[in-house]
């Protein structure tokens, strides 16, 4: 996603990843607040990194969704990113950060 420009894109990656989860939750809250849905009827699905969003949302706001589906979720980011022998790991440092850097590891 870069449809809203580079600053918006950067605002949801690396040490700003939490914004992705907060934005997703804010969208769901908006749907509820404006009568489009309710927590007992709200469902969401995420695949791969989208599964990470579902996992985070399940922990941050379990009360907001009736169902969350995670298809091949990328939820063990730290272990994956610490193994540079895995395909794409090094290429993904730009998106997730390099966990060998202490500030990234701590985040």
Q: Which two tokens stand for residue 80?
A: 């994956």
pTM for the structure as a whole: 0.88
Query: What phi and psi, each to the nearest 5 degrees, are found at residue 30?
Result: -60, -45
Q: Which two tokens stand for residue 54?
A: 């579902």
**Overall average pLDDT of the 52-73 stretch:** 96
DSSP assigned state of 47:
E
pLDDT (0 to 100) of residue 52: 94
pLDDT (0 to 100) of residue 19: 95
Say which residue, 88 or 42, is predicted with more confidence. Answer: 42
**Overall average pLDDT of the 66-82 stretch:** 93
* DSSP H or E segment with residue 70: strand 67-71
Task: Work out the mean pLDDT of the chain and round it to a whole number.
Answer: 93
β partners of residue 67 = 43
**Overall average pLDDT of the 21-32 stretch:** 97
DSSP assigned state of 44:
E
Q: Is residue 41 within 8 Å of residue 66, measured between CB atoms?
A: yes
């Amino acid at each position: 996603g870069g449809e809203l420009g580079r600053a918006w894109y950067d605002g949801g990656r690396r040490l700003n990843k939490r914004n992705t989860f907060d934005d997703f939750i804010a969208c769901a809250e908006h749907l509820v607040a404006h009568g489009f849905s309710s927590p007992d009827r709200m469902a969401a699905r995420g695949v791969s990194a989208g599964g990470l969003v579902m996992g985070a949302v399940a922990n941050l706001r379990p009360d907001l969704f009736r169902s969350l589906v995670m298809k091949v979720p990328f939820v063990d980011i730290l272990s994956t990113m610490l193994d540079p022998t895995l395909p794409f790991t090094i290429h993904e440092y730009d998106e997730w950060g390099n966990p060998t850097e202490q500030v990234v590891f701590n985040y």
